[in-house]
């Protein structure tokens, strides 16, 4: 698969100016920008707090081992506008690869102009291209705007309850 690719279709294809945004697979050089984006995300999420060293370690665990998953990034020129993290696992129920979608975040200065839609559509296209049979994600119960955003792409709320240790 080429490093850079574009989503095929869907709600992302909404405005001409969005075409200058480019989606690619994250590399080591993206880590500082990714940490900034994760800082925005974890500052707002109820169960997490930003921690730079943890974020760097976690990002390396994915970027250095592409068999574990794929981080897609959205650039506009040299600016990193957004990211999405797609982690592979296997479902015995579905008999194959499924994806856990994490770390969907767009820089606060660039929201509500289609960047998130473009990233999510690219993630869905990518998941299909690698034979993924389901995408699962977690979102804060109070994050109604994110839930509306995901629902526009066909995601539904699961009847299952997430549990954690610790
Ligand atoms: C959720 C998130 C990723 C969406 O990213 P985004 O770039 O704002 O997404 P989009 O611009 O594609 O769509 C957001 C809204 O802007 C609207 N929009 C898109 N392009 C637009 C434009 N050119 N002009 C005006 N509105 C536009 C969309 O219709 C959408 O409306 P909605 O409120 O009905 O959903 C972003 O808000 C974010 O990073 N939030 C904080 C982190 C977060 O909560 N992540 C999810 C964790 S599970």
Q: In 3D, which of 147, 101, 134, 142 has the Cα closest to residue 120?
A: 101
Question: What is the reported pLDDT for 47?
Answer: 87
Q: Are 110 and 119 in contact (CB under 8 A)?
A: no
Q: Which atom of ligand 1 approaches the CA of 14 most closely?
A: 20
The domain that contains 79 carries what CATH number? 3.40.630.30
* Max CA distance (Å), the chain: 46
Angle of helix 144-151 relative to helix 115-129, nearest 10 degrees, comes to 50
* Residue 9, SS3 per DSSP: coil
133, HSE (Cβ side, Cα atoms, 13 Å): 9
* CB-CB contact of 60 with 32 (8 Å): no
Q: Which domain holds residue 73?
A: 16-151
The pLDDT-based confidence of 8 (bands split at 50, 70, 90) is very low
Ligand 1 atom at minimum distance from 105 CA: 39
In a domain, 163, yes or no: no
Total domains present in the chain: 1
CA distances from 24 to 46, 55, 143 (A): 29, 20, 27
For residue 107, which atom of ligand 1 is closest to its CA? 39
Question: pTM (2 decimals)?
Answer: 0.90
Decide if pLDDT at 81 tops 90: yes
Structural domain contains residue 49 = yes
Distance 146 CA to ligand 1 centre (A): 8
Distances (CA, A) of 36 to 29, 33, 50, 66: 13, 5, 9, 22
- Residues with C-beta less than 6 Å from any ligand 1 atom: 14-15, 41, 104-106, 111-117, 139, 143, 145-146, 148-149
Quick one: pLDDT at residue 19? 52
Residue 136 lies in a domain: yes
Determine, yes or no, domain membership for 107: yes
Q: Per the domain annotation, does 134 fall within a domain? A: yes
What mean pLDDT, rounded, does the chain reach? 91
Half-sphere exposure of residue 15, counting CA atoms within 13 Å on the CB side?
Answer: 11
116-156: pLDDT as tens digits: 999 999 999 999 999 999 999 999 999 999 999 999 999 99
What residues contact residue 128 under an 8 Å CB cut-off, 6+ apart? none
Residue 160 within any structural domain of the chain:
no
The pLDDT value given to residue 46: 85
Q: Of how many residues is the chain composed? A: 166
pLDDT at 12: 46
Distance (angstroms) between ligand 1 centre and the Cα of 112 equals 4
Q: For a ligand 1 pocket test, name from 15, 16, 114, 120 the mutation site with the most ligand atoms within 8 angstroms of its C-beta.
A: 114
Task: Report if residue 95 sits inside a domain.
Answer: yes
Q: Is residue 92 part of a domain?
A: yes
């Amino acid at each position: 698969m080429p490093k850079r690719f574009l989503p095929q279709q869907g709600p992302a294809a909404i405005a001409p100016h969005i075409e200058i945004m480019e989606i690619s697979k994250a590399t080591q050089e993206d880590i500082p920008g990714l940490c900034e984006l994760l800082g925005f995300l974890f500052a707002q999420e109820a169960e997490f707090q930003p921690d730079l060293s943890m974020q760097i370690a976690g990002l390396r665990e994915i970027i250095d081992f592409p068999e574990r998953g794929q981080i897609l990034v959205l650039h506009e020129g040299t600016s990193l506008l957004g990211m999405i993290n797609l982690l592979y696992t296997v479902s015995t129920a579905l008999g194959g690869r499924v994806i856990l979608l994490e770390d969907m975040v767009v820089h606060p200065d660039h929201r509500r102009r289609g960047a998130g839609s473009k990233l999510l559509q690219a993630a869905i296209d990518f998941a299909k291209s690698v034979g993924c049979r389901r995408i699962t994600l977690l979102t804060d119960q109070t994050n109604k705007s994110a839930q509306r955003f995901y629902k526009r792409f066909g995601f539904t709320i699961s009847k299952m309850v997430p549990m954690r240790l610790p």
